[in-house]
Amino acid sequence: MALPTLKDLPDQRGHFGRFGGQFVPETLMAALEELEHEYRLIRDDAAFHEELAYLLRQYVGRPTPLYEAASLAEAYGGKQRVFLKREDLCHTGAHKINNTLGQALLARRLGKKRVIAETGAGQHGVATATAAALLKLECEVFMGEEDIVRQELNVFRMRLLGATVTPVRSGSRTLKDATNEAIREWMGTVGDTHYIIGSCIGPHPFPMMVRDFMSVIGREARRQCLEQVGRLPDALLACVGGGSNSLGLFAPFYDDREVRFFGVEAEGEGFLSGKHACSITSRQVGVFHGAKIFVLQNPDGQITPAHSISAGLDYPGVGPEHCFYAETGRAAYLSVTDEEALAATRMLCHREGILPALESAHAVAALPKVLPLLPEGGVVLISLSGRGDKDVYTLRKYLEPQT
């Protein structure tokens, strides 16, 4: 099938092929229409982009380096070149700040005085709290009770930045349930509150908007690869939860059909165990959090819990653009278990002196599956979406006897 160009994704109704759309209560439609209208205006607003570019440069620390991990490549045979896009070096320690600054600036333009967010690994919550403090906005972050335990350092950081962290005790007490509560809160407070969704999920225009703000990652990587290698990469590799870091890397290369995309889902304890977060691999279509997407669900259509050692990948769905990429073949999707992600964490620490977030470690762990598909001398770029400080307690639990 002939693929549309990036400028045609999504269509005017917010669809990526048969995925996406707006499946929300009537009470939210006016807010979504206002948000889409204002966002389309700022896309062509030079003053808005100048302010955002200034903050990304002077406050976030962009551009982030494109680092050649030669020792890591050597560990896998040394026949291909491996580069890491170092989003872990952003202010706050992950890629999330790219999107939260853009949405916080948009919230201010909309006249909103308050922002809310959901978070799993805590990085989006920290980034939202950071942007809110910078722009003098009130901030509340919803976080599953289980994730609060797993990510207590980030919870403290959010509170230190002035945000209210609201524990979510329903359901699986993880990212899915935090998103549910954030949506409920937004329904009752749309007049003065903007919901800063942290990934390429939710009803239109959120998947498009988050992708666009995150695309600074791929634009930089494209330019840096041309400068350092002299050509475009053969492949891009990134972990996939909702999709923000991966689509931020992929989108600027979308129309370069010779560049292959590899997304990596969290296989948890193994696909057959049922304890995983492989929504794309499962290929079950449903409506979840305002959009038609691939979701984990039972035969009755009820959402089933996801599992991953990584709190940021512990989500039972995936953004509609990834669903479209999977169905059309524009991207290939692999999966990595908890055990493989932990081994990749140790490998990157020992080989390169870099402690990755457990989310990012999933992408690194897929290298042995991707490199054999590339020619000798081939080039792969990995989105190193965040640093692993937040995961030290989890890592200590699983890796300390082996380090």
5 CB burial (10 A radius; 0-12, 13-18, 19+): exposed
Query: Do 223 and 144 form a contact (C-beta atoms < 8 A)?
Result: no
Cα 339 from Cα 354, distance rounded (Å):
19
> Which residues are catalytically annotated?
96, 118, 385
Residue pointed to by tokens 């041309």: 226
Q: 């551009």: which residue's tokens?
A: 63
Q: CA-to-CA distance for 294 and 292, rounded, in angstroms?
A: 7
How many distinct helices (H) and strands (E) make up the chain? 17, 14
Secondary structure E strands in 15-54: 15-16, 19-20
The token duo for 202 is 């939710």
The DSSP letter of residue 256 is -
Q: 122 near 151, Cβ under 8 Å?
A: yes
Q: Are 389 and 153 in contact (CB under 8 A)?
A: yes
